[in-house]
Structure 1
Amino acid sequence: MEILTACGTLVYSKRGELLICHISGNDSWDIPMGFRKRGESALLAARRSLYEHVGILVDEKSFNFFGDIGFGSTSKLILHVLRAPNDFVDLANHILTVNYVPNILAEGQLEFIDGIRWVKESDVNEFCTPWVARRLLGFSWSAALE
């Protein structure tokens, strides 16, 4: 059985806030991530997903490996950390239009990012589902920034 691998990026601002994205048709926010394509490294998948979701291309050397998280026997999430460059700070003030191929959901609906914002650790529960919040709050935010 093939294990589905999602690759995402924990993008932190200099203020210690985390960048999250809102997925259309969903009540929750999550980090920018997507499934790895066949033959693609986890780093390149995380970099591509960040570009597809947020519209910013960052040099590979700016990413640091953070961890590999299993989700049962059929999927896993590989995370990288990125300290946001100065020009990332204004991202939360607008919604970006990004050129990418949206996911087609089982019902034939398109899934796309319709909002991005910075959140403080204390505000994660307000924006994310309990399942996502538990995972995001389970990471040491200060350790990720070291």
Structure 2
Amino acid sequence: MDFSTRKDLPISCGTLVLNSSGELLLCHVTGHDLWDLPKGMQEPGEPAVKTARRELHEETGLEFAADLFLEIGLFDFRPDKRLHLFKVQAPDHVRGIDHLVCVSHFIHPVTGQPTPEMDGFRWARRDEISSLCGPNMQRVLLSLHW
């Protein structure tokens, strides 16, 4: 899919957090069957790496120094959105994910209560991406060497 002629599309910035086994950190999207990268919309004038760092912190509680973020690139994601990705090699102490927490909330349409955007975390191997992520995320992630 090529949406690259639309340079005016909004950009979502995300981070591939990899552990020493080459597994990718995924977040479970509350209320959906899908797993996703920690990512979110870039604010006007905000550098992409700043957005990726902010979203990683909001959706997982993880914070890494800016110099650990390696730019992967800008990708066609959906007809209405592009995806700017970065990669971070997580230190060994991050292998355990029980301490991760999403501090970004939305108002739940049924309960009216603030609800975390992400309600679970897991490490995933490359061969698990097709069964965990949506088609657009699968397409992008499986096109990358990580």
TM class by shorter chain equals 0.7 to 0.9
Whether the 8 Å contact between 1:95 and 1:115 is mirrored in structure 2 is no
Number of equivalences: 138
Report matched runs for 1:51-130 at 5 Å. Answer: 51-71=57-77, 74-91=80-97, 94=98, 96-100=100-104, 102-103=105-106, 112-130=117-135
TM-score, structure 1 as length reference: 0.82
Larger CA deviation: 1-10 vs 81-90: 1-10
C-alpha deviation, 1:127, in angstroms: 1.5
CA RMSD of superposed structures (Å): 2.4
Larger relative helix fraction: 1
TM-score, structure 2 as length reference: 0.82
Letter in structure 1 aligned against 2:145: S
Where structure 2 has 5 or more consecutive residues not aligned to the other structure, the ranges are 1-5
C-alpha deviation, 1:82, in angstroms: 0.5
C-alpha deviation, 1:7, in angstroms: 0.1
Percent same amino acid among aligned pairs? 34
Where structure 1 has 5 or more consecutive residues not aligned to the other structure, the ranges are 142-146
Q: Which residue of 1 aligns with 2:17?
A: 11
